[in-house]
Amino acid sequence: MKKLISAITSIALAASLLPSSISAASSSLKDISNHWAKASIMQAVNDGYVKGYPGDVFKANGLVTRAEFASILAKAVNLPETKEAVIFTDIANHWAADAITKDERMGVISASDYGNKFNPNQAMTRIELSNWLKNVLLQKEGYLEAWNDVANTIVPITEFYKGNLSETQKQTAALMIGTGIIAGDQNGRYNPNANVTRAEMVTVLYRFLAVKDKPADSFRALNELREVGMTGTNMGTATNRVVTKDTSWTNVIGKDQAKKYDFGTRVLGNVIFVDFSTNPEYKSVYTDMFKFTNAEGVYGVFSFNTYTLKVNSVTSSTMTNSNATPISAIITIMPTKADKYNYQLFNGRDGFGWLKKGLPAGVWSYSILMKNASNVDSFVAKDGGRVTFYKE
């Protein structure tokens, strides 16, 4: 009886994916008229990637299985079948066995992620779906280089600082966010372990299809994430500033910064620029992570520094007035964004008890830069290294 039920379930799942008769036509689906993904659902049905269920319903909130998504990608992706396929022990008689094997041979599915059993009827997670799509992109123009470039980037999702993602998962999320295939939700969460609904799947599918044949460097958001990964800043992508030819960010990133008061070390890690305008010309991928107000004609300049005191205590005046250049001045960030994204703030309002002698403390702070100001600005390291930039 269990085997019969399993077989019936597999047939039903297969039927929901294959092109169908008029009963599966998108115009006849009764349960998508007011659904947010209606357009993508109709297109996916009309293109033959999915179909409805008996009774002319789509079940948009139903979950997508590995077998279902494997079947769709086997149709949607055209890559050389040059990889060696591992024969999973649990797909021999499965309706999607051929599609799963094809995806393996194309390098979409990596057998090393699953072992001997594929568990084809297991519901897909967002990070798993992201990983399959990443495997396709890495075989396309420029994406392997992009993947390597984002290894040290800051990914603008809540899980980045919470430790919920492995390093390779962070890279995968960066690739998805940078190309616009998958983004965080309204609360900034990537939700890597959440299951994927049918509505979400078809929406992501068409975003992916629009991306997969474009070169990696054609996506400005991905270029921004790559710049941060390679240089520590997004200034070149997100602002109208350019660095002078005789200076470089490598002169200051990772180095102790010049200070008026020698309280210890302040090592600069990252500098992120965000346009505070209501309708910016370019909306940085870090906007939601850092922007906390609208201010026309202003860039927020967010700096991550690691402090290590060599003295027992410091005063607010010592800390906030110790910077050697105006652009590196410290203003406390409002806590709402930090709480949401789980990063640590430079907070002098409640004293500096969070700074302990000899114990490194990494925190974010910000200053401001007028977008149309013609002045030259710099960050300066204690060893004399500097980066100087100006309005182009």
- pLDDT category, 27, cuts 50, 70, 90? low
Q: How would residue 28 be classed by pLDDT, with cut points 50, 70 and 90?
A: confident
149-163: pLDDT as tens digits: 999 999 999 999 988
- Across the range 281-305, mean pLDDT stands at 94
Q: Above 50 in pLDDT, residue 231?
A: yes
Mean pLDDT of the chain: 89
Domain boundaries, the chain: 2-221, 233-391
Report the pLDDT value the prediction gives residue 325, as an integer from 0 to 100. Answer: 66
Residue 355 is predicted with a pLDDT of 85
Residues forming beta bridges with residue 167, ordered by sequence position = none
Q: In angstroms, what CA-CA distances link 159 with 77, 150, 337, 342, 380?
A: 30, 16, 14, 8, 32
Largest CA distance in the chain: 80
Question: Considering Cα of 129, then 131, then 134, then 135, what sign does the dihedral take?
Answer: negative
Is the pLDDT score of 117 beyond 80?
Answer: yes
3 pLDDT more than 60:
no
Which band of pLDDT confidence, cut at 50, 70 and 90, is reported for residue 354? confident
Question: What confidence score (pLDDT) does residue 365 get?
Answer: 86
pLDDT of residue 328: 58
Q: Tell me the whole-structure pTM to 2 decimals.
A: 0.90
202 pLDDT higher than 90: yes
Token couple for 110: 């990596």
Say what percent of the chain tops pLDDT 90.
Answer: 73
**H or E segment at 268?**
strand 264-275
Residue 102's pLDDT is 97
